[in-house]
Every structure is written in C-alpha cells, then in structure tokens.
C-alpha cells in the first residue's frame, strides 16, 4: 500500500500543486512544482522533510514553479539530507541550479540534477519505475547543441555542493574586532566558479509529466506446494520466496511461479502538467497506456488557468478519452478554491486585529470562480487529500481498491472568521474590539491620501515578513513595503513605494494582505527594490515581485530600480533569460549597486569569467575599477523624489549594507527612512552618520537580550542593541523586526532598555502609518496575555530552530 498526499492546491499563498508519495517504510518522493512557500506549507501540515531525497519537477522551469526550491535545498541539507536527486526533462535544470551559485551552497551535500530526456527517460528503484513524458510546445523542436552545453554546467553544481567537508570548512571568527576588520576590508578569497558567465540557457519549451508504475508484489509463498514438489525446508524455501529458481539434488528445476501465488499489481498513476495551451496537442497525441504493466488508476492534471475545461473543449474531451474507472484530480486556478493555506499565521492575525483593528487585514478566502461538470470520477485537487493505492492480482486489477482520505481537507466554510472569533478571541478575556470591527473585511490600507494631515504621518509600512533565517508557521522571512505619499508636479497627492528586502513568498503575503482590486495599483506604485545582502531569507521573493511588476506595468514607461549588491544583478539577468521576458521588459529594470551609495570608498567588483575559459582553466580573478553611475543615480533621485540615498557596510557578511533614504514629500516636508538589514550594532556609520535623525528606523532585533553572545556569533542584534542604535540615531520612530523563529508568535517585548522614540514590534501583515506606531505599547499587557504559550513548547523547539537558523544562511 502506498499513499499519495496532496501537499497543496493553487491559492494566493502557493500558486502551484504538489503531490507527495509516502511509503510504509518512510520514503518520500515529491511530484510537481516547488513554488515559494512550499516548505512553509510542509511545516504547517507537520510533514517531515527528513526522508525526502527525490524530487520530480513537473511542468516548465520558471520562477513561479521553482521559487521555493533553493530555500528547500538549504533546509533539506540542514535537516540531515545529504543526498538529493532532482529530476526533469529539460537540461535547462542545470542552468537553473547554477544561477543560485551566489547564495546556495552546502558542504557535504550531494545534489544530483538528473535529466530525463531522449537518452534516458526512466527512473527505477525498489519502489517504482517512473517514466518522464516530455511534452513539447507546438511547432517547437529540441536543440541538441544547447542541451549538450547545459550538461557541462554540472561542474559548477558540484562546486556548490562539495562533498569534501574538511577542505571547504570556513574558519570561524569569534572576535568582534576581527569581524569588523574583515567586513571593512575588501574580500579577496572568493571562489572563481561564482563569477563564471553562464552560457545562454537552452529553450524553456519542455513540460515534463510522469507515469508512475509501482513495482509489483510477489505472490505469497506456499510451503505445502513446495513440500509436494520435494523441496526440503530451509534455504531453498527462501530462494524461491525471493523469486529465484532453484535446482534440486535430482536435477529438477523449480520455478518460483510453481510455489508462489499470482503476483499483485498496482494501478498506474499519471502526473500530466499543461502549463499553457501550447502543450495540449502534445499531450493528446501521446499514448499514455503504453508504459507499465497495469492499467491507469489515477491522473493528476496540473493545468494553467488558460486551459479551457468547458464541455466541448479539447482538454475535456482528452480527459474523457480515458477509461470510465480512472480517477481524475484537476488542479486549475479558476476551479480551485482560494482557501487559506497558512492557518496558524491567519489565526495570529485575527488575534492581533482583535486588539488593533486598524492595523491588520484579515486574509480573505474565496470559493472557486467556476465549477466542473459533476462527474463521479472527476474531482478538484485540494490540499490534504490523500489516496492509498492497494495491489491486486492481474485478473482482478479492474476491481482493485483506491482508498480515499479527505479528513485533512479544510476548505469548507471559507472565511470562517465569525466562528473563530467566538471560539478563539472572546475567551481571551482581553480588551478586544467589537466583532464588527474585527471581522470587517474592508482593507485598512488606502489608496487615497488625507489632504488635511501632514504627509509624513501618512507614510505606511506593511511588514510582509518578520522572521529570521527560514519560513515558519507564524512568521515568513523578511520583507517590508513602505508607501511614501508625495505631491506630484500636477499638484495631486499620490503614493510611491519601495520594497526593503523580499524574502521567499513575499508575493503570497502581499496578495493575502491586500484585496484583489488593490494589487494592480500597488505594483504601479512600486518604484524601488532594495536588497541589503545575499542571504536567502532576504531575497528569494524578489524575482516574483519583479515578474508581477512587469504584468502591471506592461503599458507604462515607468522604470523599476533595483539597488542591490552587485552579484545579484548577474542573478537577475540570468533568470530573466529563463523567463523569456521581452526586450521591452528588460529595459524597464535599472540596476544600481549598493556600493555606488557608500559614504566611504567603494570596493572593486570581480569581472565575470568566460565559460570556455573557466572550463579550460585559462582565467584569473580580474578586478574591475568601479565608477559610480552618477547619471543613473541622478535619474533615480528624480523619479523617486529622493534628496539623499546613502549606504554603509553592515557587520554581518561580505557585501552586506544598511541604508538611509531621504524623500521629498512636498515643498516643505521631507521623510527620512533607515533600514539596518542584518547587522551587529553599527553606531559610527549607521546611527551617527547616514541614519542620523531618521523619521523611521526599521531595525533587525533577532535575539532576546539574554543571548548577546549568540548575537555576536551569528552577527545579529539583540532587542536592546537595536534600541540602543535607535537612541544613538535619534530616530523619531522605530519598528523592530527580523525575529528568530524560536519566538514563534511574540518576541520579548518587556524588560528592554528605555526607548527614546515611538516604537512597535513587527508582525507579519501589519499595516501601520507613521503616526500609529506609538499605539502598540498601549496594548503590550494584552499582547503578552493572548500570546502566552507553554514554556515547554519553546524549549522543545529551541535546539532544532537554532541549528536551522545558523545553517540556512
């Protein structure tokens, strides 16, 4: 018996489906996509990752399908998975993994990219045989020359995952003075493979599907028949039971079939992935009954939203071309309910809204827009569904059972907020707001600006992720959207927005926090993405934000500025080639290095090595003389109304930065915001120099005050250290964020040093205007009361969380 479990169906939280195959002995295999937020979904459902060593990627290879994969690799490695095999039919997979070389590497992990194409379409182990079916876009062909070139990229992948741990272990730096010197100097010991210029990728024109044939089960051994054949009890019994023939002393040859019952077979499982209408013909023309020794039992259909499922459509006729007893599970954005995937964090938002109704939106869920025709064997794919496939002898295979378990499916009662308010909020016995206020689904984030109030007071910060290191049930990783009001040249009042870091699945949180009607306008407002450093928890969500920005600004001449460490620009350029964006899209992105805004001397970048030179060994790490791009900086100032943009080096890792930006709101008003990124306390350059007298400081406060030594070791700040930086900066307002996941719901909000500014502690999806930051301290006692949880639970999770946070980066 084998279990196929639906990990996710398409929602705003996670846009792509996944199926998990689990064996009785604990083996796990993942089929489908690996989108941003997937590992958080695993955490939400308490599905362990320890035995997941094989991933079959389906569909096309793009960021929407793969954005969660780099973070998943880091987490799998840190949880002890030292071997990971990843399958797909397009050699582009090697290019995709190679683009992550700037920020994904693990010593002692063996990551194998396995290409299932015309040379070898078959995977086989002791559990099953899996055949890859590579659908090709209409009128397209496979480019063999390009495919061969992609194969050479395995050399770079092996460098990202070296097996020789001792040879690559970094030397720890414990002394803080040494640490500061290291970050203020120009790093020279940098691996050459990181700076290789990748060849152009192979075409992204393959959608990989899978046929899964579980291995047959040998029939039960019949000892009575064995004795009748004169076989002595003992080792010969065991040999026959294993399916091997034997020779008796008298020369008689006994076949296993003479003493074994008829073998038992499993029905075949198909995963058919149709990412666009261009693949339908290829799917229809393929013979899905050819592979395997049994008939088809279940088909999972992963369909793009543009696939027509009306009764006379091509794909609906294709579905009905299979035998009547085949079970079909349909994943389709227009038919799938937009149910809430992250239930624990949503309940947390409900609690917070009950105390501060004007600072949180309840995540809105909706039923599907369309309904399928009501046929017995066609079902909508839903998170939590599972089926168990049982074996049967061949003659009875048509009667073999498929057991259904929908006990974990929780999509009924969409928007169950009234019930949750009655069950979870009223018993808290705190100063909660009225049910009408709390359950109001109107967005508290507004597009309009109040002309009677100072513009500075209406600066709005949406903390889209407030956790450190890796996503968890309650806190996603770091991201902050800041909306800045200004008076346009025509006299109208508008918002422009900046994104300060963008951790994995920032896009999911943004779409849950805002209404569907608001999304286009908020992406038109977005003008700047700032990245503080290249750790995964700060940037794995940026590509999704960029892709979404293209959608809402395709008819605009506006630019999107990316101010990032210089290496990230290479990554973005490499990924845009994968996404097949137009030249017009590429021209809309304006990249500027964080180095260009340093108040001190900028460091030299490293020139990219030509791929052929790297392969031949004929290269050297050549330094580039950096020249600040003043024309582009001037254009940035003009387009965003910036008076001054400054960065300084952060005490965290090489090429890490803190930033201060001063905006002009109108003729009289200015607004200065500072953001620490990840860092040890930086008084000289950040607090007392570029950030001095900020109107708003957003500062990391990763650890509680009793963990100052650990903060030094991990190059982070305690809460008190962050407050001391704010006091030295003389900031008017302070938002504390980036909390360790060991504080799953509430950080240490009491027993801190005196804060000289208005301040608040950030929670995911908090929406706060500048003049509202001071209000949170009025409810601190109620916060501590409603979020009090067992100390035993903290201690139970602390060691595991500590190890994962240390390693994830």
Q: Are residues 680 and 580 part of one domain?
A: yes
The arithmetic mean of pLDDT across residues 33-41, rounded, is 96
CA atoms within 13 A on the CB side of 279: 24
Q: Is the pLDDT of residue 459 over 90?
A: yes
CATH of the domain at 92: 3.60.15.10
pTM (predicted TM-score): 0.91
The arithmetic mean of pLDDT across residues 14-26, rounded, is 93
| pLDDT tens digits along 79-89 | 888 899 999 99
Say what the pLDDT of residue 799 is: 47
Say what the pLDDT of residue 229 is: 87
Structural tokens at position 549: 């920005």
Q: Are residues 473 and 354 part of one domain?
A: no
Q: Are residues 111 and 165 part of one domain?
A: yes
**Listed range (112-126, 149-163, 387-401, 698-712) with the worst mean pLDDT:** 387-401
Banded model confidence at residue 179, pLDDT cuts 50, 70, 90: very low
Say what the pLDDT of residue 800 is: 47
Per-position b or e across 408-436, b if 16+ CB within 10 A of its CB: eeebeeebebeebbeeebeeeebebbeee
The helix (run of H) or strand (run of E) holding residue 547 is helix 542-552
List, as one string, the DSSP characters of 468-537: SSS--SS-PBPEEEEEEEEE-TTS-EEEEEEEEEE-TTHHHHHHHHS-TTTHHHHHHHEEEEE-----HH
**Listed range (246-260, 347-361, 396-410, 490-504) with the worst mean pLDDT:** 396-410
The arithmetic mean of pLDDT across residues 651-667, rounded, is 96
Provide the domain limits for residue 453. 449-808
The helix (run of H) or strand (run of E) holding residue 207 is strand 206-214
569: phi then psi, degrees, rounded to nearest 5: -65, -40
Residue pair 651/682 in contact by the 8 Å Cβ criterion: yes
The arithmetic mean of pLDDT across residues 371-398, rounded, is 84
**Other residues' Cβ atoms within 10 Å of the Cβ of residue 145:** 7
- Tokens 């905006």, residue located: 663
Sign (positive/negative) of CA torsion 747, 354, 12, 525?
negative
* Distance set, CA 754 to CA 524, 720, 721 (Å): 40, 9, 11
Residue 123, SS3 per DSSP: strand
Q: Which of 394, 424, 441 is the last residue of a domain?
A: 441
Q: Where are the alpha helices (DSSP H) in 175-287?
A: 176-184, 223-228, 235-241, 280-285
CA angle 569, 572, 577 (to 5 degrees): 130
**Other residues' Cβ atoms within 10 Å of the Cβ of residue 95:** 26
Say what the pLDDT of residue 192 is: 86
Say what the pLDDT of residue 470 is: 87
Say what the pLDDT of residue 169 is: 41
Banded model confidence at residue 164, pLDDT cuts 50, 70, 90: low
The arithmetic mean of pLDDT across residues 600-618, rounded, is 89
Q: Is the pLDDT of residue 579 over 60?
A: yes
Say what the pLDDT of residue 168 is: 40
- Tokens 């079902």, residue located: 379
Beta-strand pair 110-115/402-405: unpaired
Say what the pLDDT of residue 201 is: 92
Q: Which of 441, 459, 490 is the last residue of a domain?
A: 441
| pLDDT tens digits along 499-549 | 999 999 999 999 999 999 999 999 999 999 999 999 999 999 999 999 999
How far, in Å, CA of 199 to CA of 205, rounded? Answer: 17
Structural tokens at position 262: 């008829």
Structural tokens at position 282: 């290829």
Residue 719, SS3 per DSSP: helix
Give the best-scoring range by mean pLDDT among 219-233, 430-444, 687-701, 773-787. 687-701
How far, in Å, CA of 781 to CA of 430, rounded? Answer: 9
Question: Cα torsion for 71, 73, 78, 81, to the nearest 10°?
Answer: 160
Banded model confidence at residue 399, pLDDT cuts 50, 70, 90: low
Q: Are residues 190 and 122 part of one domain?
A: yes
| pLDDT tens digits along 209-231 | 999 999 988 778 888 888 888 88
673: phi then psi, degrees, rounded to nearest 5: -120, 140
> Average pLDDT, whole number, for the chain?
89
Q: Are residues 650 and 504 part of one domain?
A: yes
Sign (positive/negative) of CA torsion 18, 301, 67, 84?
positive
Q: Which of 231, 257, 283 is the last residue of a domain?
A: 257
Task: Give me the percent of the chain exceeding a pLDDT of 70.
Answer: 92
CA atoms within 13 A on the CB side of 639: 18
The helix (run of H) or strand (run of E) holding residue 253 is strand 253-254
Say what the pLDDT of residue 413 is: 55
Banded model confidence at residue 63, pLDDT cuts 50, 70, 90: very high
Q: Which carries the bigger pLDDT value, residue 678 or residue 423?
A: 678
Q: Are residues 516 and 418 part of one domain?
A: no
Q: Is the pLDDT of residue 429 over 80?
A: no
Q: Is the pLDDT of residue 802 over 80?
A: no
Q: Are residues 608 and 508 part of one domain?
A: yes
Using alpha carbons only, how large is the chain's radius of gyration in Å?
Answer: 29
Structural tokens at position 711: 């903060």
Task: Give me the percent of the chain exceeding a pLDDT of 90.
Answer: 66
How far, in Å, CA of 807 to CA of 469, rounded? Answer: 8
Q: How far is CA 535 from the centre of its chain?
A: 14
Contacts for 658 with CB less than 8 Å, ≥ 6 apart: 532, 647, 648, 649, 650, 674, 675, 676, 677, 679, 682, 685, 686, 690, 691
How far, in Å, CA of 703 to CA of 174, rounded? Answer: 18
Per-position b or e across 246-285, b if 16+ CB within 10 A of its CB: beeeeeeebebeebbeebbbbbbbbbbbbbbebbbebbee
Q: Are residues 519 and 664 part of one domain?
A: yes
- Tokens 């109208």, residue located: 492
Residue pair 348/44 in contact by the 8 Å Cβ criterion: no
DSSP state of 434: P
**Other residues' Cβ atoms within 10 Å of the Cβ of residue 238:** 11
In SS3 terms, 31-50 reads as EECCCCCHHHHHHHCCCCCC
Residue pair 293/268 in contact by the 8 Å Cβ criterion: no
Beta-strand pair 2-8/246-247: unpaired
The number of distinct structural domains making up the chain is 4
Q: Are residues 238 and 180 part of one domain?
A: no
Q: Are residues 273 and 175 part of one domain?
A: yes
Q: Are residues 390 and 348 part of one domain?
A: no
Say what the pLDDT of residue 131 is: 97
The arithmetic mean of pLDDT across residues 475-496, rounded, is 96
Residue pair 242/26 in contact by the 8 Å Cβ criterion: no
Q: Are residues 426 and 416 part of one domain?
A: yes
Q: Is the pLDDT of residue 721 over 90?
A: yes
How far, in Å, CA of 297 to CA of 222, rounded? Answer: 30
């Amino acid at each position: 018996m084998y279990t196929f479990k639906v990990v996710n169906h398409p929602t705003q939280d996670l846009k792509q489906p996944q199926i998990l195959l689990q064996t009785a002995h604990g083996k796990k295999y993942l089929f489908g996509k690996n989108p941003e937020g997937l590992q958080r979904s695993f955490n939400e459902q308490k599905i362990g990752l320890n035995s997941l060593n094989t991933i079959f990627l389906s569909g096309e290879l793009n960021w929407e399908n793969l954005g969660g994969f780099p973070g998943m690799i880091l987490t799998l490695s840190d949880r002890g998975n030292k071997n990971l095999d990843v399958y797909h039919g397009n050699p582009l997979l090697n290019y995709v993994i190679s683009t992550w070389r700037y920020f994904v590497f693990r010593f002692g992990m063996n990551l194998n990219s396995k290409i299932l194409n015309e040379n070898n379409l078959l995977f086989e182990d002791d559990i099953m045989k899996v055949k890859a079916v590579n659908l090709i876009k209409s009128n397209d062909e496979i480019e063999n020359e390009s495919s061969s070139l992609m194969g050479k990229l395995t050399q770079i992948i092996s460098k990202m995952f070296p097996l020789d741990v001792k040879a690559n272990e970094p030397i720890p730096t414990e002394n803080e003075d040494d640490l500061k010197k290291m970050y203020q100097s120009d790093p020279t010991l940098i691996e050459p493979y990181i700076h290789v210029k990748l060849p152009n990728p192979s075409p992204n024109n393959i959608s990989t599907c899978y046929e899964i044939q579980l291995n047959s089960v040998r029939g039960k051994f019949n000892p009575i028949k064995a004795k009748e054949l004169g076989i002595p009890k003992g080792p010969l019994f065991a040999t026959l039971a294993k399916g091997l023939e034997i020779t008796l002393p008298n020369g008689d040859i006994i076949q296993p079939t003479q003493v074994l019952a008829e073998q038992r077979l499993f029905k075949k499982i198909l995963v058919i992935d149709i990412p666009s209408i261009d693949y339908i013909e290829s799917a229809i023309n393929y013979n899905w009954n050819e592979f395997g020794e049994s008939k088809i039992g279940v088909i999972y259909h992963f369909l793009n939203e543009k696939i027509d499922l009306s009764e006379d459509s091509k794909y609906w006729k294709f579905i009905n071309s299979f035998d009547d007893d085949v079970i079909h599970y349909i994943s389709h954005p227009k038919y799938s309910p937009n149910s809430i995937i992250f239930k624990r964090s949503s309940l947390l938002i409900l609690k917070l809204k009950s105390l501060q109704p004007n600072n949180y939106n309840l995540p809105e869920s909706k039923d599907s827009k369309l309904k399928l025709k009501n046929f017995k064997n066609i079902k909508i794919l839903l998170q939590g569904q599972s089926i168990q496939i049982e074996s049967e002898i061949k003659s009875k295979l048509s009667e073999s059972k498929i057991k259904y378990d929908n006990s974990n499916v929780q999509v009924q009662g969409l928007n169950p907020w009234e019930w949750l308010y009655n069950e979870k909020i009223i018993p808290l016995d705190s100063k909660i707001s009225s049910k009408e206020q709390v359950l109001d689904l109107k967005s508290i984030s507004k597009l309009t600006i109040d002309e009677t109030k100072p513009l500075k007071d209406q600066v709005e910060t949406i903390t889209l992720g407030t956790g450190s290191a890796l996503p968890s049930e309650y806190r996603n990783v770091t991201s902050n959207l800041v909306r800045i009001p200004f008076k346009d040249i025509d006299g109208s009042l508008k918002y422009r927005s900046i994104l300060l870091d963008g951790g994995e699945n920032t896009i999911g949180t943004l779409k849950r926090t805002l209404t569907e009607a608001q999304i286009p306008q908020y992406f038109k407002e977005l003008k700047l993405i700032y990245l503080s450093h290249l750790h995964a928890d700060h940037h794995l969500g940026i590509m999704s934000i960029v892709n979404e920005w293209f959608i809402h600004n395709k008819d605009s001449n506006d630019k999107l500025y990316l101010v990032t460490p210089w290496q990230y620009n290479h990554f973005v350029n490499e990924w845009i080639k994968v996404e097949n964006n137009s030249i017009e899209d590429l021209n809309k992105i304006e990249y500027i290095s964080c180095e260009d805004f340093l108040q001190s001397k900028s460091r030299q970048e490293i020139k990219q090595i030509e791929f052929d030179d790297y392969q031949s060994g004929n290269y050297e790490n050549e330094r580039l003389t950096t020249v600040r791009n003043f024309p582009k900086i001037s254009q940035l100032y003009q387009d965003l109304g910036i008076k001054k943009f400054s960065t300084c080096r952060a005490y965290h890792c090489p090429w890490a930065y803190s930033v201060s930006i001063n905006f002009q709101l109108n003729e009289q008003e200015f607004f200065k915001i500072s953001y620490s990124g990840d860092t040890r306390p930086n008084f000289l350059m950040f607090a007392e120099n570029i950030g001095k007298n900020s109107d708003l400081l957003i500062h990391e406060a990763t650890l509680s005050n009793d963990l100052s030594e650990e903060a030094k070791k991990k190059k982070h700040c305690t809460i008190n250290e962050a407050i001391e930086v704010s006091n030295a900066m003389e900031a008017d307002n302070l938002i504390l964020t980036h909390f360790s996941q060991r504080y799953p719901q509430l950080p240490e909000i009491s027993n801190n040093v005196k804060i000289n500014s208005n301040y608040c502690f950030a929670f995911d999806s908090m929406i706060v205007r500048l003049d509202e930051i001071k209000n949170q301290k009025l409810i601190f006692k109620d916060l501590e009361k409603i979020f009090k949880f067992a100390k035993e639970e903290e201690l139970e999770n602390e060691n595991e969380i500590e190890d994962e946070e240390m390693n994830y980066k």
